[in-house]
């Protein structure tokens, strides 16, 4: 791509400008304190003036170029043979572009082959114009800044203002990302809710997007079994495993373990949190699920499935243990020493103090930690994809195959269907629900933690 080369050239030009400006500013630098800014700042001033305007011009040209190329190709005599209807016209044009870029691509439509030439020409022409534009902007910016190199020019203040702008822009990225998530989820989910009413989606109990046809789409997109599966696996089974183990680990590590033991055990426990979820998923499917299946068979269940809610939930719970443990650790550490000292002074044993004083006092913090853990568990994807199954069952049997919101999002988006089908869009609606639920859980939990800390400070 010619434009990628331009980008590198701009950076090179910036470097040249930097050295040139520093050399020139050094000539002015007498060391007697008559200069406002050090030579280095003049150098940065010039370099920034070269790179930034050029980058903006480059970005603008990148955005404008496809339109210009299309216009030029349409003006070409070959384009007169294109069919009149806009859709096939766009298809042939898109094909011609692929051929222009990759010479060995095979054309589906013969017309695309003849169009590839004009496309390539237009591309080359506008690329060249863009490169020239960027070069002119870079040189103009740099030249202007270069003439500013004088002893009394406040280059440092200017550079610092530029850097401050950069810092501000970086911190706005977070808001932009949040906005991007909300906007894209809302937009795509909105398209989905045009076809399927939100009430059918949120309250319907029948989920079978595969058989969705025609007018009564709502009947195939009832997401209640998905919500149930998610809650059952992530918020019930996983928490039954994670809360006792995590809480007791934290109690042991903070109250009983000697510093040496703590130093060794805590990082080891945290390894559990560092293992990728795909590894847990594989482990769940390979080892844990068959064990539970055999167990179910020995209980006398007919054809227990390999994919069970229990296997996914238990493994997910193990994954969450270190998280619950460290949240409980923080909550216990925030309880004032005087409270447990008072209890011990009254003659209570250590375990009595923990059970009757420390844990109740730390309860808000622990509950908040559990909420965060749940929010993490219900958003977990790979374990359920690999171990929980695809069947949307509304059942309380832990040995049954069960599906979750995240599983269905993956399912809906990894096929080869066109992007705007209700099936694909339903993934975004599910994503929106997931996002809102985890957001609420997180906000409440963070608020509880904050208030809880303030209460003891």
Write out the binding residues for another protein, residues 220-259 only, by CB under 8 A: 244-249, 251-253, 255-256
Q: Which of 149, 285, 296, 311 binds another protein (CB under 8 A)?
A: 285
Rounded least distance, CB 277 to another protein, Å: 7
Nearest to 140 by CA among 56, 216, 263, 206: 56
Residue placing its CB nearer to another protein in the complex, 186 or 301: 186
- Residue count, binding to another protein (CB under 8 A): 86
Restricted to residues 345-384, the positions that interact with another protein (CB under 8 A) are 349-352, 354-355, 372, 375-376, 378-382
- Residues 380/434, Cβ–Cβ less than 8 Å: no
Q: What angle do CA 111, 117, 122 make, to 5 degrees?
A: 120
* From candidates 88, 147, 178, 417, binder to another protein by CB under 8 A: 178
Q: Is 333 in the site for another protein (CB under 8 A)?
A: no
What's the rounded Cα separation, in Å, for the pair 191 and 189?
5
Nearest residue to 72 (alpha-carbon basis) of 127, 19, 17 = 127
Site for another protein in 185-224 (CB under 8 A): 185, 187-188
**Which residues, 52 to 81, sit near another protein by CB under 8 A?**
none
Minimum distance between the CB of residue 10 and another protein, rounded to whole angstroms?
17
First vs last C-alpha separation in the chain: 59
Residue range at the interface with another protein (CB under 8 A); choices 10-18, 198-206, 297-305, 411-419 = 411-419
- Phi/psi of residue 224, nearest 5 degrees: -55, -40
Considering only residues 8, 86, 87, 268, which one is a binding residue for another protein as defined by CB under 8 A?
A: 268
CB of 264 to another protein, least distance (A): 11
CA distance 294 to 280: 20
Identify residues 310-329 at the interface with another protein (CB under 8 A).
318, 321-322
Q: Give min distance, CB of 65 to another protein, in A.
A: 12
Separation CA 197–CA 216 (nearest Å)? 10
Task: Kindly state the smallest distance separating residue 267's Cβ from another protein, in Å.
Answer: 8
Confirm if 309 and 404 have CB atoms less than 8 A apart. Answer: no
Q: How far is the CB of 252 from another protein (least distance, A)?
A: 3
Cβ proximity to another protein, 211 vs 260, nearer residue: 260
Task: Report the C-alpha gap between 93 and 99 in whole angstroms.
Answer: 10
428 class by beta-carbon count within 10 Å (0-12 exposed, 13-18 middle, 19+ buried): buried
Stretch that binds another protein, among 146-154, 270-278, 295-303, 389-397 (CB under 8 A): 270-278
Nearer to another protein, 137 or 234 (CB): 234
Of 180, 190, 210, 360, the one binding another protein (CB under 8 A) is 180
Taking the CA of residue 421 as centre, how many other CA atoms within 13 Å lie in the half-sphere pointing to its CB?
15
By the rule CB under 8 A, 272 interacts with another protein: yes
Query: In the bound complex, what is the minimum distance in angstroms from residue 413's beta carbon to another protein?
Result: 6
Q: Identify residues 382-401 at the interface with another protein (CB under 8 A).
A: 382, 385-386
- Tell me: does residue 134 bind another protein (CB under 8 A): no
Q: Which of 275, 333, 346, 363 binds another protein (CB under 8 A)?
A: 275
**Among 158, 409, 426, 452, interactor with another protein by CB under 8 A:** 409
Q: Which stretch binds another protein (CB under 8 A): 20-28, 114-122, 213-221, 277-285?
A: 277-285
In the complex, minimum distance from the CB of residue 143 to another protein, in angstroms, rounded to a whole number: 26
Q: How far is the CB of 176 from another protein (least distance, A)?
A: 9
Nearer to another protein, 61 or 280 (CB): 280
Does the footprint of another protein cover residue 308 (CB under 8 A)? no
428 makes contact with another protein (CB under 8 A):
yes
Distance of CA 230 to the CA centre of its chain: 20
Cα separations (Å) of 175 from 56, 183, 388?
22, 12, 34
Dihedrals phi, psi of 326, to nearest 5 degrees: -75, -30
Eight-class DSSP state of 301: -
Looking at residues 430 to 449 of the shown chain, list those that interact with another protein (rule: CB under 8 A): 431, 434-435, 438-439, 442-443, 446
DSSP 303-371: S--SS-HHHHHHHHHHHHHHHHHHHHHHHHHHS-HHHHHHHHHTT--HHHHIIIIIHHHHHHHHHHHHH
CA 86 to each of CA 90, 115, 275, 339, 442: distance values in angstroms, whole numbers, following the listed order: 6, 16, 51, 76, 47
């Amino acid at each position: 791509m010619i434009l990628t080369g331009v980008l590198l050239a701009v950076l090179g030009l910036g470097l040249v400008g930097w050295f040139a400006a520093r050399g020139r500013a050094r000539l002015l630098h007498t060391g007697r304190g008559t200069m406002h800014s050090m030579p280095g700042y003049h150098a940065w001033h010039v370099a920034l003036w070269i790179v930034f305007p050029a980058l903006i011009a480059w970005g603008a040209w990148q955005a404008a170029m496809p339109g210009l190329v299309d216009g030029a190709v349409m003006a070409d005599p070959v384009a007169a043979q294109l069919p009149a209807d806009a859709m096939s016209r766009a298809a042939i044009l898109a094909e011609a572009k692929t051929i222009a870029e990759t010479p060995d691509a095979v054309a589906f439509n013969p017309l695309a082959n003849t169009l590839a030439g004009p496309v390539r020409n237009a591309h080359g022409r506008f690329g060249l114009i863009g490169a020239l534009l960027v070069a002119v902007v870079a040189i103009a910016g740099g030249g202007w800044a270069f003439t500013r190199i004088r002893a009394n020019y406040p280059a440092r203040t200017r550079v610092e203002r530029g850097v401050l702008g950069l810092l501000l822009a970086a911190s706005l990225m977070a808001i932009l990302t949040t906005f991007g998530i909300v906007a894209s989820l809302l937009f795509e989910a909105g398209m989905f809710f045009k076809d399927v009413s939100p009430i059918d989606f949120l309250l319907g109990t029948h989920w079978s997007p595969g058989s969705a046809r025609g007018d009564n789409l709502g009947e195939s997109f009832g997401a209640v079994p998905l919500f149930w599966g998610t809650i059952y696996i992530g918020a019930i089974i996983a928490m039954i495993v994670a809360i006792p183990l995590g809480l007791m680990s934290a109690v042991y590590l903070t109250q009983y373990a000697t510093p040496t033991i703590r130093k060794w055990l805590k990082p080891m426990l945290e390894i559990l949190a560092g293992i990728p979820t795909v590894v847990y998923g594989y482990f769940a499917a390979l080892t844990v699920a068959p064990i539970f299946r055999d167990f179910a068979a020995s209980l006398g269940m007919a054809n227990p499935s390999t994919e069970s809610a229990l296997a996914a939930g238990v493994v997910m719970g193990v994954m969450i243990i270190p998280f619950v443990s460290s949240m409980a650790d923080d909550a216990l550490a925030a309880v004032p020493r005087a409270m447990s000292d008072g209890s011990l002074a009254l003659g209570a044993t250590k375990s009595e103090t923990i059970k009757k004083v420390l844990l109740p006092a730390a309860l808000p913090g622990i509950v908040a930690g559990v909420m965060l853990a749940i929010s993490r568990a219900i958003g977990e994807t790979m374990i359920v994809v690999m171990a929980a199954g695809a069947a949307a069952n509304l059942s309380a049997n832990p040995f049954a195959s069960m599906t979750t919101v995240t599983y269905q999002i993956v399912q809906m988006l990894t096929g080869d269907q066109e992007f705007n089908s209700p099936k694909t869009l339903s993934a975004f609606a599910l994503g929106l629900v997931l996002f809102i639920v985890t957001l609420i859980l997180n906000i409440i939990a963070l608020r509880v933690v904050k208030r809880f800390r303030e209460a003891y400070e």
